[in-house]
Amino acid sequence: MTLERLGSLLLSGLWETLYMTCASTAFAYLLGLPLGVLLVVTRRGHILANPALQSGLGVVVNVLRSVPFLILMIAVIPITRFVMGTTIGSGATVMPLVIAAFPYVARTVESSLLEVDYGVIEAAQAMGASRLQIIRKVILPEATPGLVNGAAIATTNILGYSAMAGAIGGGGLGALAINYGYYRYKTDVLLAAIAVLVLLVQCVQHLGTWVACLVDHRLK
Amino acid sequence: MADEAAPVMIDIRGVRKVYPSSAGDVVALNGIDLTVRKGDIYGIIGMSGAGKSTLIRCVNRLDAPTEGSIHIGGQNILTMDQKALLAMRRSVAMIFQQFNLLMQRTVLRNVTFPLEISGLPRARAVARAKELLDIVGLAEKAPAYPAQLSGGQKQRVAIARALATDPQVLLSDEATSALDPMTTQSILALLEDINRRLGITIVIITHEMSVIRQICTRVAIIDNGAIAEEGSVREVFTAPRTAAARRLFRGDREEIPPGARCMRLVFNDTNLHEPVVANMILACGVPVGILSGNMQTVGGQRRGQLLIQLPADAALAEKALAYLRTQDVIVEEVEPLDSGAAG
């Protein structure tokens, strides 16, 4: 294989992977962030205490998280076909990725929000802040560094899952590694695809750590 | 200082707070009646676990009492709907032991926070916050973050934040307990200044006698979820009537020799300079030992006390006592410390 051909394969794979990862992460946060907030504020003694709802949501999250991703991908094929119109390609992969990732995101968000000192929340209550104001102006901003760190970890996880989706008709670098490297014994493509994935994970993680540090005013 | 005729600001009647638990109900507050008048600096003191924090948290409904009524400025706060409750909390500010500042906001934006949530335009909120930071002496720290401040500075920011919405009442929940003695003095001075200049009624929860002595006008001693004793600080300090009150003073008191009969003589501003003990020795010819003596300022008045040991001879001791009782000082018997009894 010529270097040019390898380059263009990697470039289109990288583009698809970025597309899948970004779209999936965005949708996973769209669902997971509010869910994570709910998991926190419905706790006993919290601002919207509702232990029954809290444990119900917890069970849903745990069930979704315990299904192995490969199985989940196959299980949600009917939903994917219904929503996306197709079950193959990068676009179709977004669906199972979101379903797999949002419960994980919810738990990540939950643990970041729990780090906010409850005393600060009480102080806001004592100042007459409404529940929504407490969520928007106290809990989320105070948890920002943790949320950013969590987002970096979630993104790298979703990146890894997106590569796995290559096994059942997804696109991207994972599909490239499987189709060329595994089925056609082209080890050079396999190694190159892995190298790009490693670089990508490094970049995301470093970016996350850097931004988290930048927005954290507790240390300086 | 508020006088007896000042209007009632906080009226607490028959407040009970019961926490149900698997091991049976825990009664945190058991029938509290309390009246705080406008302009008071009202101290509520008690040992850890006496229920004082629960009580102050009921005043702005961070905790809901199980029974009873609480009126602030004539309004029953326990029957308020959510909207009225949020409005009430803007006029009843609170400061905390752990300061509870927003760590991701600058000092300035911490102070604008209560104004922001009440919907004040940003420019006006910033102008007001700068004024308040000036009052607490931290104008130059406006762009800093709380992590860059000392404990005393953090509490000053918290006080500025509490004052932002022009509250009528300031609740202080152990606000100086995390601070060193010097910083405590300066924060207490600031609170006193705020009370005097802005006429804000202050309720202070503390376990430190020195806080009460230094700035409070009235004091309630809370013990086992009930008010053991209540009155002007001077009264309660000079002549504590209950065991709970005396137990709180124990920190001020020296150990007495076993088997000795000891008396405490309490002097006030008018008789502080009388050589009462010397006169007694001269008049009765009875020698007494002086175990300790000190002088404190309580509620703006000096108060001295002497701990004396009477002679072992009962007849001589009675003679000395009879003389002392004719003098213009408070004489009370000091019971030995019962060793090991937790307060």
Residue ranges of domains in chain B, CATH in brackets? 8-247 (3.40.50.300), 254-334 (3.30.70.260)
For testing the chain B interface, which of A127, A133, A218 should be mutated: the one with the most B CBs within 10 Å? A127
Quick one: pLDDT at residue A116? 96
- pLDDT per position as a tens digit, B160-216: 999 999 999 999 999 999 999 999 999 999 999 999 999 999 999 998 888 998 999
Q: Which residues of A touch B106 (CB under 8 A)?
A: 217
Residue B119, number of CB atoms within 10 A of its CB: 7
Instruction: Point out the residue among A125, A130, A218 whose CB comes nearest to the CB of B62.
Output: A125
Q: What are phi and psi of B47, to 5 degrees?
A: -70, 165
Confidence of residue A159 (pLDDT cuts 50, 70, 90): very high
Domain ranges in chain A are 3-215
Quick one: pLDDT at residue B21? 86
Confidence of residue B283 (pLDDT cuts 50, 70, 90): confident
Percent of chain A with pLDDT over 90: 67
Quick one: pLDDT at residue B156? 97
Residue A27, number of CB atoms within 10 A of its CB: 18
Residue B44 has pLDDT above 60, yes or no: yes
Confidence of residue B340 (pLDDT cuts 50, 70, 90): very low
Q: Please list, in sequence order, all residues whose beta carbon lies within 8 angstroms of the beta carbon of residue B16, skipping any fewer than 6 positions away.
A: B27, B29, B30, B31, B32, B65, B66, B67, B68
Percent of chain B with pLDDT over 90: 59
How far B251 CA sits from the closest chain A CA (Å)? 30
Average pLDDT over residues A40-59: 96
Confidence of residue B339 (pLDDT cuts 50, 70, 90): very low
**A128 contacts B100? CB cut-off 8 A:** no
Quick one: pLDDT at residue B317? 87
- pLDDT per position as a tens digit, A78-92: 988 888 888 888 888
Comparing B10-14, B40-44, B266-270, the range with the smallest average pLDDT is B266-270
Rounded-to-integer distance, Cα A99 and Cα A190, Å: 28
Average pLDDT over residues B97-101: 96
Q: Please list, in sequence order, all residues whose beta carbon lies within 8 angstroms of the beta carbon of residue B72, skipping any fewer than 6 positions away.
A: B9, B10, B11, B59, B88, B91, B92, B168, B169
Quick one: pLDDT at residue B3? 61
**A129 contacts B148? CB cut-off 8 A:** no
Confidence of residue B14 (pLDDT cuts 50, 70, 90): very high
Least CA distance to B103: which residue of chain A? A218
Whether B127 has its CB under 8 Å from any CB of chain A: the answer is: no
Confidence of residue B336 (pLDDT cuts 50, 70, 90): low
Q: DSSP H helical segments within chain B, as ranges?
A: 52-59, 82-91, 107-117, 122-135, 151-163, 181-198, 209-215, 233-238, 243-249, 276-284, 314-326
Q: ipTM of this predicted complex?
A: 0.89
Helix (H) or strand (E) holding B331: strand B330-334
CA B323 vs CA B51, B114, B263: distances in Å:
43, 62, 13
Q: Which residues of B touch A141 (CB under 8 A)?
A: 102, 104-105
**B147 contacts A220? CB cut-off 8 A:** yes
Instruction: Point out the residue among A117, A122, A138 whose CB comes nearest to the CB of B62.
Output: A122
CATH topology of domain A3-215: MetI-like fold (1.10.3720)
**B104 contacts A216? CB cut-off 8 A:** yes
More confident residue, A217 or B334: A217
Instruction: Point out the residue among A122, A137, A219 whose CB comes nearest to the CB of B117.
Output: A137
**A123 contacts B60? CB cut-off 8 A:** no
